[in-house]
Amino acid sequence: AQSVTQLGSHVSVSEGALVLLRCNYSSSVPPYLFWYVQYPNQGLQLLLKYTSAATLVKGINGFEAEFKKSETSFHLTKPSAHMSDAAEYFCAVSGTTSGTYKYIFGTGTRLKVLA
């Protein structure tokens, strides 16, 4: 079975500071892992994904995430926050349950960027 846990439903950072959004997963098979972003009144859009290639994945808008199997983590980072990064971020895992692929989203982390 798959599950994903996002630590912190709200995160605030100052403009220019490091952004770190945490995601831990569990999966009985090698997972595919995703980060999505949702801006107000919009659907989710893909930031980046891990599909068993390089463990450090670079995405759009300067975000990146590192797959750490030993820690079952896939944390999202950005070196310097911008006001336009304020949004809700969702981690997701895709794996199998009884031979059927399941796609599970985390509960989301709302990022606030302070001027």
Partner 1 sequence: ETGVTQTPRHLVMGMTNKKSLKCEQHLGHNAMYWYKQSAKKPLELMFVYSLEERVENNSVPSRFSPECPNSSHLFLHLHTLQPEDSALYLCASSPSSRGTQYFGPGTRLTVL
Q: Of 11-19, 62-70, 77-85, 88-96, which segment contacts partner 1 by CB under 8 A?
A: 88-96
Give the per-residue SS3 of 92-105: EEEEEECCEEEEEE
Is 84 a residue that touches partner 1 (CB under 8 A)?
no
- Indicate the residue among 2 and 73 with the shorter CB distance to partner 1: 2
| Cα distance between residue 96 and residue 77, in whole Å | 27
- Indicate the residue among 41 and 70 with the shorter CB distance to partner 1: 41
Q: Where are the beta strands (DSSP E) in the chain?
A: 3-7, 10-14, 19-26, 32-38, 44-50, 56-58, 64-68, 73-78, 87-97, 100-105, 109-114
Site string for partner 1, 11-50 (x = CB under 8 A): ---------------------x-x-x----xxxxxx--x-
Is 105 a residue that touches partner 1 (CB under 8 A)?
yes
Binding site for partner 1 (CB under 8 A): 32, 34, 36, 41-46, 49, 90, 92, 94, 100-101, 103, 105-108
